[in-house]
Amino acid sequence: MTNDETVLSSSPSLSAMFRLQWEEVQQSWVLLYPEGMVKLNGSAGEIIKRLDGKKTITELIAELEKDFETSGLQSDVLAFLEIADKQGWVKT
């Protein structure tokens, strides 16, 4: 993933190999897959739970900035999505 209009207009979703689930005991979102589990930090969970395959990355960033009353999240969101893409957690 690179920081360009193609990426920002893409609509990623969670890969079919993973299932997002809230784990009450761990008080965090986790990605479940056949061989195990990935515990997500708060920011990663907030991003992943919003990936529906319809919302563009630009819309995702705007939603996060509105919900958390902040700005300037684009580089952080893109950096996380690049990692998530390399891990196979998301499909674009």
Q: What's the CATH number where 35 sits?
A: 1.10.10.1150
pLDDT at 47 over 70: yes
Helix (H) or strand (E) holding 77: helix 74-87
Residue 1 within any structural domain of the chain: no
The pLDDT, as a whole number, for residue 73 is 97
The mean pLDDT of the chain is 94
Determine if the pTM surpasses 0.85.
yes
Residue 73 within any structural domain of the chain: yes
Range of the domain at 78: 7-87
The pLDDT, as a whole number, for residue 5 is 78
Rg (CA), the chain: 13
**Tens-digit pLDDT profile for residues 54-91:** 999 999 999 999 999 999 999 999 999 999 999 999 99
Number of domains in the chain: 1
